[in-house]
Amino acid sequence: MSEPFPRVPVSRMLGRGITRRCARCGGGHLFKRWVSMVEDCPRCGHRFEREDGYWLGSITINTAAMLIGFAIAFVSTTALTWPDPNWTLVLVVGVLANIIVPIVFHPISRTLWIAVEIAANPISEEEERAAHDRVAERLLGDVP
């Protein structure tokens, strides 16, 4: 069976992940709402949740982004109020960073995780066939 979407370099998959597109085909419209993702890619049919616990990697990426956001907020606020740091301001900015960054970064962390996971664990022939069938069913509908 020939692949409709040939393997792409890891750098391109990661770029697609950062821009909230499918790592496999580059298709968009992967989110119904900011935090609600479709089950499979509307373009290539790739099923995103490949196994139970699949999104744990996405949560890890999002947590790392939150920690980086907090570190930037902490260092920036402390540096801007130096030599007498306003610790209340540092606390408020840090808490806001810990609330805002994970919400804003959530969809990116999901699509980025998909890219990382596909790079580490390539799509099997069985998954390829299932994706092809989903796209065919979507295009043809219920044809008798």
Give the pLDDT confidence score for residue 1 in this predicted structure: 46
For residue 5, is it within any domain?
Answer: no
State how far the alpha carbon of 44 is from the alpha carbons of 24, 137, 141, in Å: 8, 12, 16
Tokens (6 digits) for 61? 């990426």
Is residue 3 in a domain?
A: no
Distance between CA 137 and CA 116 in Å, rounded?
28
Domain count of the chain? 1
Q: Please say if the pLDDT value at position 64 is more than 60.
A: yes
On whether residue 75 sits in a domain, the answer given is yes
Predicted local confidence at residue 143, as pLDDT: 56
**88: domain range?**
10-139
- Split at pLDDT 50, 70, 90, the class of 141 is confident
Task: Give the pLDDT of residue 18.
Answer: 97
Does 2 fall in a domain?
A: no
Q: Give the model confidence (pLDDT) of 3-29 as tens digits.
A: 556 789 999 999 999 999 999 999 999
Looking at per-residue pLDDT, the higher value among 124 and 1 belongs to 124
At residue 67, the pLDDT reads 98
Closest CA to 113 of 48, 51, 67, 68: 48
What tens digit of pLDDT does each residue of 81-137 get? Answer: 999 999 999 999 999 999 999 999 999 999 999 999 999 999 999 999 999 999 999
Chain-centre distance for alpha carbon 78: 31
Whether the per-residue pLDDT at 57 is higher than 70: the answer is yes
Report DSSP state, residue 21.
Answer: S
- Whether 1 maps to a domain, the answer reads no
25, 52, 88 from 57: Cα distances, Å:
21, 12, 33
Q: Is the pLDDT of residue 138 over 70?
A: yes
The pLDDT score that the predictor gives to residue 62 is 98
